Structure formats: C-alpha cells, structure tokens
Amino acid sequence: MNAIDIMNRPVLAAARSTSARDLAIQMLMGGFSGIPITERDGALVGIVSELDVIRALRAGKPLDTIEAAEIMTAEVITVNVDATVEEIMEIMDTKQIVRVPVLEDGKLVGVVSRPDVLRAAIEPKFMRFS
C-alpha cells in the first residue's frame, strides 16, 4: 500500500499571505491540525500547524496581523505518491510529525496523517473509490 492509496484529498492549502486567524478557523472547522502553504500552481512552500498558531499567541501577536509566511515551517518533510506506508510510518516516528504532505511531480496532491496510517492498518479488506 502506498501514499496514494491512503492520502486525504482534495487538500485544502493556503497562500503565504493568509492570516493566522484564518488558518486557525480553517483548522477548527475542518477538523485537522495543520495546513500546507502553497503557491497557486501547487508547489509546496511550507506548513502551518496548530502549534505554530499557539506559539504566535504566546508571543502576544494578534492573529489577524500575522501571515502564514511568518509562522510556517518552510522545510517540510514530504513523500511522493509512491512512498510505502512503511516509509511513511518511519518518517512519522523518527521525525515525530503528525502529517506528511504527498507530492506528485513536485506538486501537492494529498496529505497522509497518523489516523490515515492507522485506518490502513485496521481496514485492509475495505476499499475506497473516488
């Protein structure tokens, strides 16, 4: 089983200029803990997690004045669509990350999170078609 088989798609991504407030709202409304930051063509430039927003709050910064580019992690760990679930688990474990953006031809096409990996392990006889 590969990343393409278990990844979440479509992916909600944000521009560098998106406010931290808007990112936090999207995370809360969407039920996810991070948002990829991309260019319009899908090129991944960063990721913002709940913790990044919390750190901005702790620094006393108003969330409506902070842009994603100011708080994002720019060096994002990614996998290609053909990465195996075993490779993804190793990355999540050794790098202690919750989600891994999935790229195809250098463009964002999905995200694999820890629950996706667990679902793949416990639902091997069920299939999804999109």
Q: Output the pLDDT for position 53.
A: 97
Q: Which pLDDT belongs to residue 130?
A: 64
Q: Which pLDDT score is estimated for 121?
A: 86
In the predicted model, residues of the chain with pLDDT beneath 70 are 124-130
pLDDT, residue 122, reads 86
**Could you give the domains of the chain?**
3-122 (3.10.580.10)
What is the pLDDT, as a whole number, of residue 15?
Answer: 98
Predicted TM-score (pTM) of the model is 0.89
* pLDDT computed for residue 73 by the predictor: 96
Helix (H, G, I), strand (E, B) or coil at 24: helix
In this predicted structure, what is the pLDDT of residue 41? 95
Tokens, residue 16 = 């560098």
* H/E run at residue 115: helix 114-122
Residue 89: both structure tokens together: 């688990």
Sign of CA dihedral 44, 49, 54, 59: negative
